[in-house]
Structure 1
Amino acid sequence: MAMDAERRQAELIEQFSAQAAALSSAPQLAALVLEATSHPALFAFSELLTLPALSKLTGTQYASSLDLLRLFAYGTLKDYKSNSSALPALLPDQARKLKQLSVLTLAESTKVLPYDQLMQELDVSNVRELEDFLINECMYSGIVRGKLDQLRRCFEVQFAAGRDLTPDQLTNMIETLSDWLGTSDNLLHHIQEKIKWADTTSELNKKHQKEFEDRVEEAKKSVKKLNNVSRQTMTYGGMTTFSLNLEE
């Protein structure tokens, strides 16, 4: 399911990107922003922000549409309400979408969301309305999975789709990955040194083992040679004694 959702997001982004590239006027581009932010299946907007075509909105009477798109990429309903005078009015589909995105933002920081916090953030007046929204607009749409706990008055999040990373978050992630890569390189170097040491030690052990075996072999040869000399001496002594006995 997650892979299907990601594929659907990619398809929609590609679709809106192609449409934006074919448009030239600010009113048309503003209408495209309205369509994208109202689409029930689109929850990622940062790639649309980077489209060269949308930069045509800057400095026009439709520039606030670009600000609204940025809000849908990184912001919440609470952010919109604090700056609503400078932004276009929300259509019902946009308001619902921004509430969904707000739930995803809250789920990033904690997996137990109190009803009171959710009602305040989503501008919902009662528990029934909140639970209906979480079930019908969030869980059924697949952006979150969880359990409604009426006794504890909270929503326990089991899964939540990720939102667009802000530029600061992306920078921090790159720094974290760079640090991890550096640590991994150091660890790999340390492991390679250990392997090299182990190989060297193994070769020395093999060399010592060979030297020991050679010494043992030499010792065996020496013992064998001494045994042969001893037998020859004993044989020679016996023959001498026999000869003397005959003369007597």
Structure 2
Amino acid sequence: MEIERKQAELIDHFVKHAATLEAPQLASLIAEATSHPSLFAFSEILSVPNLSKLQGTQYSTSFDLLRLFAYGTWSDYKSNAGCLPALLPDQARKLKQLTVLTLAETDKVLPYDQLMQELDVSNVRELEDFLINECMYSGIVRGKLDQLRRCFEVQFAAGRDPRPEQLSNMIQTLTSWLGSSDSLLHSIQEKIKWADMMSEANKKHRKEVEDRVEDVKKSIKADMDLRGSEEIFAESGVMDFEEDRVRSKRRRQPIA
């Protein structure tokens, strides 16, 4: 997908730059990455070893901010705002978009009241405008706004960076899935093998039936040919016998 290709290109760009910069420039790079309108994954940037230069400096909060954008939500920021840099408007919007993705990970029907609380939005109109303009138009989510039920029905949501504590469960799930896939593949292969054997047996049986039919046809034809020859012989014999009787009578007639 186009959004995934663009994500990969942006991540590669920021990772390469982060590997060559010093602390002040790294802080600026983090601000740029967390403000970028098309970037929604940050764990790879966070894992660049060079970012350790921020620890113990006046820019250490920039590293904490990057971690927040990788794994946190708008509520997390509000709870720790005193320990983090003030957000630029683009960063605030980005963090709220990421919050929607986090909520969509566990629930596919998001009540308006929950969204307004999590996003710090005061009314339904503002919430719907945000979901349409900042989430659906950007391609990170697809869904339906249900004004009657006052909820957002999520049909698709881009995935966020997995949190470190989620990795063990993800590995376990993938391992289980791999085992199930291998078992299913083995079962399918066995069924294919059985189907091939049955097909070969059917071909052999069909060939035997066709050979028998052909033998019967030949036998019938040979029998018909034999009967035809006997009939011709019989007719020829009767005709000769009658001719001989006529000739004999003619020979015995007295000479006048």
Given the two structures, how large is their TM-score scaled by the length of structure 1?
Answer: 0.78
Match of 1:154 among 151, 156, 165: 151
Pairwise CA distance, 1:116: 0.9
- 2:202 maps to a residue whose letter is T
- Residue 242 of structure 1 is matched in structure 2 by 243
Tell me, what secondary structure is at the counterpart of 1:157? strand
Identity %: 51
Match of 2:84 among 84, 88, 99: 88
Pair 1:12 & 2:40 matched: no
* 1-structure distance, mates of 2:205, 2:91: 73
Structure 2 CA distance for partners of 1:170 and 1:27, relative to 1, 3 Å: farther
- 2:127 maps to a residue whose letter is L
- Residue 100 of structure 1 is matched in structure 2 by 97
* 2-structure distance, mates of 1:100, 1:42: 11
* RMSD (Å) for aligned C-alpha atoms: 3.3
C-alpha offsets along residues 47-70 of structure 1, whole Å, 9 cap, x if unaligned? 32443444x359655666555434
* 2-structure distance, mates of 1:174, 1:95: 37
Given the two structures, how large is their TM-score scaled by the length of structure 2?
Answer: 0.76
* Matched-pair contact (CA < 8 Å) for 2:71–2:160: yes
- Residue 222 of structure 1 is matched in structure 2 by 223
* 2-structure distance, mates of 1:68, 1:118: 22
C-alpha offsets along residues 213-244 of structure 1, whole Å, 9 cap, x if unaligned? 12221221122123212321332243234324
Tell me, what secondary structure is at the counterpart of 2:117? helix
Aligned length: 243
* 2-structure distance, mates of 1:177, 1:66: 36
* 2-structure distance, mates of 1:148, 1:162: 20
5+ unaligned residues in a row in structure 2: which ranges? 250-256
Structure 2 CA distance for partners of 1:202 and 1:165, relative to 1, 3 Å: farther
* 2-structure distance, mates of 1:124, 1:77: 11
Structure 2 CA distance for partners of 1:215 and 1:121, relative to 1, 3 Å: same
Give the greater-gyration-radius structure (CA).
2
Structure 2 CA distance for partners of 1:145 and 1:178, relative to 1, 3 Å: same
